[in-house]
Amino acid sequence: MKHLAAFLSVYLVAFSEAVGAPVLRDSNLAVTEVASGLSFPTTMAFIGPDDILVLQKDDGKVRRVTGGVLQAGAVLDTAVDNASERGMLGIAVHPNFPASPYVYLYYTESSAEGDSSGSPAGNRVYRYTWNGVALTSPELILDLPVSPGPNHDGGIIAFGRDAKLYVVIGDLNRNGQLQNYGSGDLPDDTSVILRLNDDGSVPGDNPFFVLGGNVAKYYAYGIRNSFGMDFDPLTHKLWMTENGPNIFDEINLVDPGFNSGWEKLMGPDSRNANDAADLFSLAGSHYADPKFSWLNPVGATAILFFDSAALGTGYENDAFVGDINNGNLYRFKPNAARDGFVFSGAGLADRVADNNPEVDETIIGRGFAGITDLKRGPDGRLYVVSAGEGKIYAIGSASVPPSFGIDALPTAEVGVAYHVDLDINGGRPPFSVSLTAGALPPGLNLMGEAITGLLTSANGSRFTLRVTDDLGASTARRFRISAVGALSIRDGSLPAGRVGRRYNARLRARAGQKPFTWSLVGGPLPAGLALDAATGRITGIPAAAADTTLILRVDDSLGGVAQTTVALSIR
């Protein structure tokens, strides 16, 4: 891949001839088409739930997709030069949006009145104001070189967790100090990542700030070209993809003052004739090998650290990378320190994919027809921009969301052990159940996928539970548990009876839950009398005089038990 631009000029035709639907290797995941009809989309940004701004490279338009529908017209149409890799390239939304309603765009501005191919005015970053329907009031905050080009313009912009704006530009085919030629031209804003305040001013804590001049703006240099930057959500460190010539595309961890090595080094130092000692060194700079390289370039583009559990907890905070050459989606599992990746195959122990089997180990999806951007949506899904198809896709769970199989929760009784399994259906285990509103009755607790405990007072409650599966899919449901007091026996005595006369006495229960079951657990009933288990009545005609002590028990439908000892005299 001597020039990615050469590929860009023909790949749309190649992809349109024979591209099927994207395919994922994990059957638990599914791809959904979100929007179509875009013309060479490059990057996108969410400005709200289900509300996307997406850039079109060649015509300078910013399009809006709401509710999965590409809206007519454009929210911005500005003149760009679209030769080779020039055009409408990068977008970032202010970290305090919409309170600070700013949208930042990186594009190659045309010197002509309309779009052009070969008449650039400069690579520029503008800050626009979003008024709800359009991008207005452009403010130029960064003016970058554009020649000789026309490729290696970079164009990706992103806000870090530090609320600073990071901007990458490639070498524009120059050979100066920033490309590691010590005797070359002085630093000229090429081959760098710039770090700026949100108004374009230079932060005083930049790694080269004390050197002054152009260098004060730089965060990193020695970059051939990049189409991808993102920040690890756990470490907040910057990562980028970098495109090589005919060998070595890279993934780099970019610490402050990083020198990526171009044009002396590409890929690991050990595989180059030059070494780190041959690099042009700014005070405070350092070189580090790539954390991963493709020996045969794939046209690595967007990188995204996916801070969502919507694909399953196994994917949360992993790195995803797209490529333009093949339309592949790659997945990388960070190591424990999150300063590199772990691989299962021994062939990748050197962190270089030297052949197709080694490349294949990292691929999770194919058929995206040239990926130019990856984003996590407000809904937690992974969004993919396909330049070749002019579409936006979303990757999410393929499974039916989990649900509660139990229709209603049984009544709880004071002093009786309570245990109810919530009977989770659908989804992919393991599941987690959480209480999201209300409270359980006193003494009851949510334990895993069950409610257990011992009710301490007769106070029922209403509450909401949410079940979430391993893919992040979830369902919430409102429940009620009614409560009753502890079962007891009201009557503490029985009336006396007479031999030969009908006897009828009834035992009564207090609280508990019907139906009740009565039983005699101690002492014989006098001859001629019987206990009705359903009603608690003792009836009959006594056959002989007797004085007896009875132990009577009642059981309710919830497992409550009560008993009493009473005397019965027959005269």
Q: What is the mean pLDDT of residues 160-167?
A: 98
The answer to whether 405 touches 422, Cβ cutoff 8 Å, is yes
Query: How much is the mean pLDDT over the chain?
Result: 95
308-334 pLDDT per residue, tens: 988 888 999 999 999 999 999 999 999
Superfamily of domain 490-570: Immunoglobulins (2.60.40.10)
pLDDT band at 10 (very low <50, low <70, confident <90, very high): very low
pLDDT at residue 502, as a whole number: 98
Whether the per-residue pLDDT at 346 is higher than 50: the answer is yes
pLDDT band at 426; cut points 50, 70, 90: confident
* Separation CA 305–CA 319 (nearest Å): 4
- Identical topology for domains 1-33+152-362 and 490-570: no
Q: Read off the pLDDT of residues 12-24 as tens digits, 9 standing for 90 and up.
A: 444 444 457 899 9
SS3 labels along 98-132: CCCCEEEEEEEEECCCCCECCCEEEEEEEEEEECC
- Specify the DSSP element, H or E, that contains 5: helix 4-17
**Residue 71: how many CB atoms within 10 A of its CB?**
13
The DSSP secondary structure of 35-71, one letter per residue, reads: E---SSEEEEEEEETTEEEEEETTTTEEEEEETTEEP
The predicted pLDDT at position 17 comes to 42
Q: Which CATH class is domain 403-484?
A: mainly beta
Helix (H) or strand (E) holding 505: strand 503-506
pLDDT band of residue 306 (cuts 50, 70, 90) is very high
pLDDT number for residue 19: 55
pLDDT of residue 5: 43
* pLDDT band of 2, cuts 50, 70, 90: very low
| Residue 285: predicted pLDDT | 98
Provide the CB-side half-sphere exposure for 139 (13 A, CA). Answer: 12
Q: How far apart are CA 138 and CA 122, in angstroms?
A: 15
169 pLDDT higher than 50: yes
Q: How large is the average pLDDT for residues 105-120?
A: 98
> Average pLDDT in the 393-399 region?
89
Domain boundaries, the chain: 1-33+152-362, 36-147, 403-484, 490-570
Which pLDDT score, from 0 to 100, does residue 9 have?
Answer: 44
Q: What value, to the nearest 5°, has the Cα angle with vertex 217 and ends 214 and 222?
A: 80
Judged by phi (left if over 0) then psi (alpha if -120 to 50, else beta), residue 215 lies in alpha
In CATH terms, the fold of domain 36-147 is: Neuraminidase (2.120.10)
Query: Is the pLDDT reported for residue 126 higher than 70?
Result: yes
d(CA 323, CA 223): 18
User: Based on the number of CB atoms within 10 Å of its own CB, is 381 exposed (0-12), middle (13-18) or buried (19 or more)?
Assistant: buried
For 152-161, 200-209, 365-374, 401-410, which range has the lowest pLDDT when averaged over its residues? 401-410
- Segment 215-243 shows an average pLDDT of 99
Which of these CATH numbers, 2.30.40.10, 3.40.50.1100, 3.40.50.11540, 2.120.10.30, describes 1-33+152-362? 2.120.10.30
| Percent with pLDDT over 70 in the chain | 97
CA dist 84 to 163, 391, 431, Å?
32, 21, 49
pLDDT at 313: 85
